[in-house]
Structure 1
Amino acid sequence: MKCKFICPSCGAEYSTDEPIWRCNCGSYLDLDYNPVFDKTKLPEEKTLWRYSQVLPLDIKSAVSFNEGYTPLITMNFWGMDVLGKLDFLMPSGSFKDRGAAIMISKCRELGIKEIVEDSSGNSACAISAYCAKAGIKANIYMPAGNSAGKTVQVRAYGASLHLIEGNRIDCANAALEGATKSYYAAHAWNPYFLHGTKTVIYEILEQMEWQTPDYFFAPVGSGSQILGVYLGLKELVSAGIIKRMPKLMAVQSEKCSPLKDYVNGIETPVSSHNPSIAEGIAIHRPVRLKQIVEAVIKTGGDFVTVDDDTIIEALKASAAQGVYIEPTSASAVAALKQYANDLPAGSKVVVALTGNGLKASAKIDGIIS
């Protein structure tokens, strides 16, 4: 199915055959793409490419490690049974592989030879891995001081790593300067990334025998997972597969909570460093902030903030069940504590476990010691 870029701000349209990453007006772009999902036509393979009928590219150009279809397991936190989606088991160790697979496949389809990306860590790792497989040169910008495991991983994939002093805004500004010379394959800006991350909700629904969960808890930084989930849910409703959407629960650190601040009419203070142990969600000004807020509100969800102590408690509670996640991922688990006694009995709750603890072992060692 053909698609085109469309600007949600000014309405401008662009061909997806051109290497464009933002509108001339300065806004991010979305895809005008409306596939109709037919669950009776699913292939046998158990990867995210199982849902190729709703992916906006020619899968012949796919850059893939046969990723996806991660386990959905029962866990218990604060006396509440939930389903944990183990997306930290993706090839590079986080859910970002879903978005990277689709975005870098599109880059290869367009003949792009070199890209720039800025990230707190997991996107950098995912995009470096897929660029290595695709033979595309990756220039990665990361905040200095973030988890060393992620910087080592990026270097190991052969990417050119630029460590930037300051916060995520400083890092993004440095990457934009670098993008004057090569394609800016930014996960926060690129709509193909979102069409990759949407596959997680297709998997979850199928693993739940197409029964809709009541709540979906996810850590939110740039919003690439929760926006992908909302995109997938809209497609599933349109196809008649589900009749309602789960409440999307957007989890942020109380030290950096631009979503809740925006809803409350508060300016998010910008710190010169990473304010929380949940480094992956310490993004003061998400590019798609208004889009994230709209998705959460339309599903009847909520904006939840958690403190570092509860994140540590959640990380330990997860590890005690054999599931080793990084602090950013543990923030979604931490949010469950606030709802453990308030959700209706029998509620079906899914929590996104997004990043592998091995990426932050030095930090976790300090926590558990």
Structure 2
Amino acid sequence: MTHVKHLRCVLCKTTYPANKPVFECSCGGPLDVIYDYEEIKSFVNTPDFKRQEVTHWKYWPFFPVEHLDKKISMGEGGTALLRSTQFKNTYFKIEGMNPTGSFKDRGSTIELTKARKFKAKEVVCASTGNMGASIAAYAARAGIRCTAFIPTFAPKQKVAQIKAVGTKVIPVRGTYELAVRKTLELRERKGVYLTGDYAYRGEGQKSVAFEIIDQLDWNVPDNIVVPVGNATLLSATFKAVSELKKVGLIDELPHIVGVQSSGCAPLYKAWKSAAFKKYQGTQDIIKTIKKPKTIASAIACGHPVDGVKALNYLKQFGELTTVTDREILSARKELGIEGIYVEPSGAVSLAGMKKLKLRGTTVCVLSGHGLKVLL
């Protein structure tokens, strides 16, 4: 079963068939997965669907996967949604409970399922740590070789995690964007399968928002707050809630907030720019941050791969904000008081919530476990 119609470029709207591995449009634009929502409705608008246990694969009708019995899974998803003991009407989505310790596993299960379907012998990725650890683990599970280009600023704990499952790690002296270029060069030379923040990863990350609303008994929170690096989780959250509304599972949309570190905030700056007021979604208006400077290394992405997708949604609803390293560390300590241990990037959402003084029921997505980065 799959309800995918095709892939479509976010910029020029060119379409591509879904039965072949395509990673970006010929114009350089990112691709989006387009579904037949009328077909999806028949699967999810039933009492049985809502009664199912909350797991990542409960939302299979919203994923680009044909055969559930051929999925590459490590038990991802179904993470806890905890009510805060300090902040009124606030919940925390604990993504560090995923198999490799971050939300990235939700995307990796889809990407490696697709990689095996397309008979990939080797996958390659660029990562500041979490995605590399996740792809490495799922590639090992799938029996597929993996190479990871990792900037030298990546935390050593994450590099060790990547190496532990047999992935070849190639250090990159420079930015995350340079690491991405290295993956593209390797694909050009060897024809390896690209993994990372491409169309299929975002489809898997939608389940964070699906689960949040499901765990709230299908009551839509006023706000969902997510950290932003490559903006894949942000754009996936926008898409997820939009899809739930399209198929009639919810009647209203939450306010979605993306939070970047003030030391690496290219998406926020584009959103606040004069160019965004005239933005039509046909070009990339994001200016690269060449030297990110933040304690939140997991979101130190100087040019968000999914930034254009996120900006398209931001024209409709939601907002962005930034937080300082001091605000991030303060939020991390407050989470510790509640017994929750996160890496700095995992505390970004709470820091953003506090800065904006959000009202109403708010869910902060805590993206990664504290053992990922030892300060």
TM-score normalised by the chain length of structure 1: 0.91
Counterpart secondary structure, 2:312: helix
Does the 8 Å contact 1:3/1:56 carry over to 2? Answer: no
Higher mean displacement: 193-202 or 11-20: 11-20
Query: Counterpart of 1:294 in 2: which secondary structure?
Result: helix
- Tell me the secondary structure at the aligned position of residue 298 of structure 1: coil
Match of 1:38 among 36, 42, 45: 45
Residue 129 of structure 1: CA displacement? 0.7
Distance, in Å, in 1 between the alignment partners of 2:10 and 2:268 is 22
Unpaired runs of at least 5, structure 2: 275-285
Distance, in Å, in 2 between the alignment partners of 1:19 and 1:269 is 28
1:162 deviation in Å?
A: 0.9
Q: Which piece of structure 1 moves more, 306-315 or 2-11?
A: 2-11
1:293 equivalenced with 2:339 (yes/no): no
Contact 2:186 2:192 in 1 (8 A): no
Is 1:92 the counterpart of 2:105? The answer is no
Residue aligned with 1:5, SS: strand
- 1:112 pairs with 2:114: no
The one of 111, 124, 149 aligned to 1:103: 111
Equivalent in 5, 10, 13 of residue 12 of structure 2: 10
1:179 alignment partner in structure 2: 187
Q: 1:73 to 1:109 in 2, by over 3 A?
A: same
Q: Do residues 334 (structure 1) and 351 (structure 2) align?
A: yes
C-alpha RMSD of matched pairs (Å): 1.8
Between 118-127 and 49-58, report the one with greater CA deviation.
49-58
Q: For 2:89 and 2:237, how far apart are their aligned partners in 1?
A: 22
Deviation at 1:99, TM superposition (A): 0.6
Q: Deviations over 1:73-102 (max 9, x none)?
A: 01145x444100011110010001001001
State the match for 2:300 in structure 1.
282
Query: Following the alignment from structure 1 to structure 2, what is the Cα–Cα distance between the partners of residues 3 and 141?
Result: 33
SS where residue 128 of structure 1 aligns? helix
**C-alpha distance in structure 2 between counterparts of 1:229 and 1:212, whole Å:** 13
In structure 1, give the amino acid aligned to 2:69: K
Match of 1:139 among 125, 147, 164: 147
Give distance in 1, aligned partners of 2:27 and 2:308.
17
Which digits, 9 at most, give the CA deviation of each residue in 1:144-196, with x for residues without a partner? 021111100000011111110011121111221112123343322x2111111
Give the drift of 1:268: 4.7
Show the counterpart of 1:356: 369
Q: What amino acid sits opposite 2:349 in the alignment?
A: A
| Residues 1:307 and 2:307 are matched in the alignment | no
Counterpart of 2:26 in structure 1 is 24
Which residue number in structure 1 is paired with residue 278 of structure 2? none
* Counterparts of 1:192 and 1:238, CA distance in 2: 20
- Quick one: distance in 1 between partners of 2:356 and 2:273? 24
In structure 2, what is the equivalent of residue 367 of structure 1? Answer: none
Is the deviation greater in 178-187 or in 59-68? 178-187
Q: Does the 8 A contact of 1:256 with 1:268 survive in 2?
A: no
Query: 1:221-232 alignment to 2 at 5 Å?
Result: 221-232=229-240
Please say which of residues 204-213 and 27-36 is displaced more in the overlay: 27-36
- Percentage of pairs with the same residue: 30
Q: Which residue among 317, 321, 331 is the counterpart of 2:334?
A: 317
Residue of structure 1 aligned with 2:131, choices 114, 123, 138:
123
Contact 2:150 2:172 in 1 (8 A): yes
